[in-house]
Amino acid sequence: MLASAALVMIMTPALGYFYGGMAGRKNILSLIGQSFAVLTIVSVQWVLIGFSLSFAPGPSGVFQGIIGGTQYIGMANMGYSTTYPGIQNINVSTFMIFQAMFAVITPALVSGAFVGRMKFSTFIVFTLAWTTLVYDPVAHWVWAYDGWLHGMGILDFAGGTVVHLNAGVAGLAAALFIGPRLTKSNGTEHAEPTLTILGAALLWFGWFGFNAGSALGASALAVNAFIVTNTAAALASLTWLGLGWHYTGKASMLGAASGAVAGLVAITPASGFVDIWGALAVGFGAGVICFYAVSLRNRTRVDDTLDTFGVHGVGGAWGAVATGLFATVAVNSAGASGLFYGNPGQVGVQLIAVASSSAYSFLMTIGILKVLDYVMGVRVPVEEEHTGLDIAHHGERGYTAVHSDAIAKKNVRFTLTLQPQDDRNPAGAVRDSMSLLVMMTQGEINELKKLTAEGAGSIEGNSQLVGKISGADMLDD
């Protein structure tokens, strides 16, 4: 269990790399830093109050089943020989630190929705408030033995509802509240796609602790969770890759990485309840549904920068519903069967969990952001957004000065006029003309200046290059 907790812990910095590689070059360090900050903030919150609010028996009356009580505040009543109700094979302290890593990664997932737009100081307070007021109650509903959704019979083995759906919906709420970026990348200015692939691989690796570890012991159930997790991730990745290849003619590795994460998200609630055939259905569905969810979002004005909702929100919802379809007691006798195994009512329970968790997360996230905006402001000033949060907030760069010349490109617009001079084309006749907008380093701009020197080229402004290039021999260049 401690090894599984360590695997889940590494997922949070891995998420920083996964997100950072897809962000613009001005914000890569801030994204990785946000994941690291969440690790520190929630780790302290969890041992002081978070675990108790999530898993302690709740107060009687109107709040029963809604929020935990004070039994475990500051790790009180958690001796190393004490067990948690219903879990006899490990002590409550082991269970606490394992669950801590789930609480850590959830607000970090939300950060992908507002890249480059939230103040770091506000993000710190938001993380603490959101974990306490949103994550902890939803965790209690689903996983505490007296939680109201737990009592209804929800199946969420490792956090499809508590972690992914919760974070995805919060990300959507934050993106809508904060508003879009001043300028959006056209998708070709990712800081370092190789970091995204590395982050996805580390997430996949850590997810075995996430899902298999949720069996709470080395058992046949843990083996099943491990196998179906790997299978669903693989098929979802292949599905997303294939769809992207079909539409663009390119086999995007970022698409393959996103598909793998979508599959991991979707199998999370189902991993302790479905067999290999269910895993294949969940993985394929995640690849298709999340791919089109992200494609649809790209056609709207909602600036969920790294598609937190499209992957985690939609993927988490699909995984929760799919659990109600494909679950079988043949895998886990302590669970329940789903629609295709004779229990259609399980789908209804899963849908209630999806709807209630989504509504609560969305409304509470908006409320928290409204309060924080009034007290300390949420969005960074325009000049800081232009500069990028790496420099504006941290005074550090994600890339060294040695590397900066290779990546610091400017948008350069110039007019290319071809004036071939031969027997069929008298001097001065214009054969073709086009306006080009390209990204070039300063060195490349200097080379182009040389080429235009003899073709009546001229420079206008700091980054506007307007020129003419003469000679048919320049056509290939």
Q: Is the pLDDT of residue 403 over 70?
A: no
Task: Supply the pLDDT for residue 23.
Answer: 86
| Contact yes or no for 165/316 (Cβ under 8 A) | yes
According to DSSP, the residues that pair with 432 across neighbouring strands are: 418
Assigned token pair, 391: 């420099």
Assigned token pair, 129: 């408030």
Model confidence over 404-459: pLDDT tens digits?
444 455 566 656 655 544 445 444 444 555 556 666 666 666 666 666 554 444 43
Task: Supply the pLDDT for residue 438.
Answer: 63
Model confidence over 112-141: pLDDT tens digits?
999 999 999 999 999 999 999 999 999 999
Q: Is the pLDDT of residue 402 over 60?
A: no
For the chain, the residue count is 477
Q: What share of the chain is helix, strand, coil (3-state, %, to 5)?
A: 65, 5, 30
Q: The whole model's pTM is what?
A: 0.83
How far apart CA 54 and CA 74 sit, in angstroms, is 13
Q: Is the pLDDT of residue 36 over 60?
A: yes
| Contact yes or no for 66/148 (Cβ under 8 A) | yes
Residue in the structure block whose two tokens are 């549904």: 289
Distant-in-sequence contacts of 39-43, Cβ < 8 A, 24+ apart: 39/9, 39/12, 39/13, 39/104, 39/108, 41/124, 41/127, 41/128, 41/131, 42/100, 42/103, 42/104, 42/107, 42/127, 42/131, 43/100, 43/104
| Contacts for 402 with CB less than 8 Å, ≥ 6 apart | none
Cα–Cα–Cα angle for 42, 195, 161, rounded to 5 degrees: 40
At 88, the pLDDT band (50, 70, 90 cuts) reads confident
| Contacts for 138 with CB less than 8 Å, ≥ 6 apart | 161, 162, 166, 357, 360, 361
Q: How far is CA 174 from CA 167, 271, 324, in A?
A: 10, 29, 29
> Rounded to the nearest 5°, which phi and psi values hold at 422?
-145, -170
In the chain, the N- to C-terminal Cα span, in Å, equals 60
